[in-house]
Structure 1
Amino acid sequence: MKKKYILWSSLPVFILLSFIFLPLQTFLVIEPRNDGKPAYFSSSSNTTFSIRYTHSIHLSEVEEFYRQTSSNKIQQTKLLYEDTAIGMPSNAEDEEVFERTKDGRYQISNMNRRFTYIDIRIGQVVANHRIVYEDNVYPFKDYFKEGSVVRVQYKKVSLFNQWRGVIVVGKR
C-alpha cells in the first residue's frame, strides 16, 4: 500500500520535471561557441530571418536571407550585396537567379542552400553583424563579445534552458 502511495504521489513531480527539462519548443538559437548565454528567437514553421553585415574588404553592406525548413534546417534563399569585388559572387549557380536590382545592388535569388547550422565570427571592427527578425534589427554585439564565434541553428529547447538564456523574441 505504501509503495503505491509513493508511486502515485511522485508521478506529478515526474511530470513536472519532464515538462521543465524535456526540449519541446523550437527556437532559432544563437549560441556562443565558448562561453556566454545563448539568444533565443521563437519560431514557427517557415520562419524567416536575415543576417546583415559590412563586408570587411570592400566595406559595403551584405544581407543574407534564410528560412526555416520543415526539418528545422536553415535554407539560404537570397543574397543581396553592393559589390562583386573580392569575396562576393559575380554569378549564380544552378537554378539560382543573378540580377542587378533597381537600386544598383546585386541579388542572387532562388537559392536552395541548406545548413544544419551557421557559424559566424562576430566582427570586432567593421562587420557590425546583425540579425533581422520579424522586421526588427538585433546587433550581435549587444548579446555576444565582439570577435567571438556564434552558432546559428534551429533547436528544440527545454524550459530550463530557456530560463538560462536570453529570450530576444518570444514568450517568457
Structure 2
Amino acid sequence: MKRKYMLWSALLFLILTSFIFLPLQTFLVIEPREYEDKPAYFSISKDQSFSILYTHSIHLSEVEEIYRQTPANNIRQTKLLYEDTAIGMPSDAEGREVFSRTKDGRYAISNMDREFPFIDIQIGQVVANHRLVYDGEVYPLKEYFKEGSIVRMHFKKVSLFSQWKGVIVVGKR
C-alpha cells in the first residue's frame, strides 16, 4: 500500500513539474539583446493584430506598423500607416501591396505580406517613444526596457516557470 502511494505521489509530482517547465503557451515576447533583464510577455490572440507605434526621428510624425501572428509563429506585417513620405518612408507600394490615403490624410500601405521570424527594435532615447498597441491598450516599451537598448520581438512558446521569471503584461486569450 505504501509503495503504491509513493508511486502515485511521484507520478503526480512529475505531471505537475512538467506543467511548470514545459513551454505550452505562445506569447509575443520582447526581450533585451544587450543586457540581462527580464523579458516582457504579451498574451496576444492568434486572430488579433497588434502594432508598433513610434515617432519618426527625422520628420517627427507618427508611424504605425501593423502585424499579425502567422500559423508558424512568425510575425507578418500587414499594414503601414504614416504621415509623411519624406526621408525613410516609402512613397509607393511594392508588388500586390496597395498605396492609399486614409480619411484623416495619412498614407497607408495595405495588403502587405512581409513575414519575419523576429523584429529587432532600438528603444528610442529622445524622440521615438516606441509603443506596443494591442486591444486598445498602449504599452510604452521604455517602461519595460532601457532607452537606447535593442530588444527582439518574436512569438515563442513559454513555460509557466519562464512567465513567473519575466514581466507578464496583461493580455487576453
Match of 1:12 in 2: 12
CA-atom RMSD, angstroms?
A: 1.7
Question: CA separation in 1, counterparts of 2:9 and 2:105?
Answer: 68
Output one character per residue of 1:35-70: Cα deviation in whole Å (capped at 9) or x when no partner.
Answer: 211111112222310000000111111000001112
Question: CA separation in 2, counterparts of 1:28 and 1:91?
Answer: 30
Question: CA separation in 2, counterparts of 1:26 and 1:133?
Answer: 16
CA contact (8 A) 1:46 1:67 kept: yes
CA contact (8 A) 2:46 2:68 kept: no
Query: Does 2:129 match 1:109?
Result: no
Normalised TM-score (structure 2): 0.92
Match of 1:51 in 2: 52
Runs of at least 5 residues in structure 2 that lack an aligned partner in the other structure = none
Count of aligned pairs: 171
Percent sequence identity is 75
Match of 1:64 in 2: 65
Query: 1:9: how far off?
Result: 3.1
Match of 2:120 in 1: 119
> What is the SS of the residue equivalent to 1:84?
coil
Normalised TM-score (structure 1): 0.93
Which residue identity lines up with residue 140 of structure 2 in the other structure? Answer: P
Question: CA separation in 1, counterparts of 2:103 and 2:135?
Answer: 24
- In terms of mean alpha carbon deviation, does 2-11 or 17-26 score higher? 2-11
1:24-43 matches, cutoff 5 A? 24-33=24-33, 34-43=35-44
Match of 2:22 in 1: 22
CA contact (8 A) 1:26 1:44 kept: no
Which residue identity lines up with residue 96 of structure 2 in the other structure? Answer: E
1:134-149 matches, cutoff 5 A? 134-149=135-150
CA contact (8 A) 1:51 1:129 kept: yes
Query: 1:75: how far off?
Result: 0.6
